[in-house]
Structure 1
Amino acid sequence: MTRRPYVDERQLILSGLFEIPTKPAENPGALNFSVELRGVLSEALKKSPRSRYEVAARMSELLGVEVTRFQLDSWTAESRNEWRFPFEYAAALEVACDTMCLQELLARKRGSKVLVGADTLKAELGKLELLEAEIRDRRRAIKKHLEGKR
């Protein structure tokens, strides 16, 4: 007979408070997200405080190569399948638009999550607290085992 785990009623239940990323299925074509990428790029440009001309100029400055508004429009247009957004431009676009949308898109596609600043430290703190609990449990188990040997 298995013992039911002890549940402390005072303990905060975290399940359901945040989404834990899961690795997506690797079905054929599952990672072909060109339409979604165009949508994410388009949304980033819409939400940006800069105009498309300003975004193109800032990207050009950051990359050291010319980026035009025409290119931005082509990378976001669903009708322009032959135009692909260059991955090496991702960081420049994120800086120019003040977003992390491309990192977040790629993270979702790979089953992970992007953490920045204090969120990174909070995650590390949570990990350390779990390790402490595991060590405490292991220590108890060893002591219990040793007490039984006396």
Structure 2
Amino acid sequence: MLRDSEMLVAAAQKLKDYEIKSTPQRQVILAYLMKSKTHPSIETIYKYLKKNDFNVSLATVYNTLQLFEQKKLVIEVAVDKTGHMRYDYFDNPHYHMICVNCGKIEDVFDDAYRQFEKTAALDTGYKVFGSQYEVLGLCPACQRKEDKISNPN
């Protein structure tokens, strides 16, 4: 997945767009986040990269994610059940549906996202630098499990 030269080129271009110095480690970490649909933790990213023979330290992953977050290229999403913060590539703003039972996170892309920011800015006079929305609930799988427990027949 990450040895795909097109993905690494895309990651390098994003780093340039966000005025972040491009290094091989930053490119591969960003490429991983761009491809990921799972909102990984620092540990998940690190383990994947090590397993796939990328020379990167846990500290490098941590520091890179902090830099990406400062530049608004990624966001911290939520703490999972193990206490680890999860991260999301945020080039295309969206909100998150988070299951309060299993911790699953899904991206929801909706034009209303930007409109909500504009309305909030107009109503309050704030200058908006960014936003992050989370909707909490039970995912379909957890709803089915809950239904089986309450209706065993």
Q: Which has the larger radius of gyration?
A: 1
Structure with greater contact order relative to length (CA < 8 Å, sep ≥ 6): 1
TM-score by length of 2: 0.30
TM-score by length of 1: 0.30
More strand by proportion, 1 or 2?
2
